[in-house]
């Protein structure tokens, strides 16, 4: 009797894969938006997003004045996560120089880090 394939068996095309899902939230009392990336095992990007959005609803219920901004983006990981694993990637077309790009989309001066 053979064992059934594990959840990450590369030889089983129907086995779940790992996904990183980014969701955006608005913290009304703080006047900030938050981007959270969570990890999920799922059979598709849609399933991973569905699970992440269910968790997003719970996250909002647990915190006062937090609302889900209705944005979820998924990324299929390459294999099982470990040290240094890429858990999310988003590509955006732009003709901006690197410094301008970072200033425009990531280092606007409005971020809270740490």
pLDDT digits (tens, 9 = 90+) for 94-106: 898 899 989 988 8
Other C-beta atoms lying within 10 Å of the C-beta of residue 89 = 10
The string of pLDDT tens digits covering residues 20-75 is: 999 999 999 988 899 999 999 999 999 999 999 999 999 999 999 999 999 999 99
What are the beta bridge partners of residue 74? 21
HSE of 87 in the Cβ direction (CA atoms, 13 Å)?
A: 13
DSSP letter at 90 equals -
Residue 81 to residue 78: CA distance in whole angstroms: 8
Show me where the domains of the chain are located: 17-84
Q: Strands 17-27 and 66-76, how do they pair?
A: antiparallel
């Amino acid at each position: 009797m053979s064992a059934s394939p594990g959840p990450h068996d590369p030889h089983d095309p129907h086995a779940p894969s790992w996904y990183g899902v980014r969701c955006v939230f608005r913290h009304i009392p703080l006047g900030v938006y938050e981007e959270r990336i969570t990890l999920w095992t799922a059979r598709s990007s849609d399933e991973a997003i569905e699970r992440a959005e269910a968790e997003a609803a719970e996250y909002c219920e647990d915190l006062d004045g937090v609302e889900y901004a209705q944005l979820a983006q998924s990324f299929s990981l390459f294999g099982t996560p470990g040290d240094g694993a890429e858990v999310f990637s988003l590509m955006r077309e732009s003709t901006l120089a690197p410094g301008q790009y970072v200033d425009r989309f990531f280092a606007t001066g409005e971020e809270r880090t740490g």
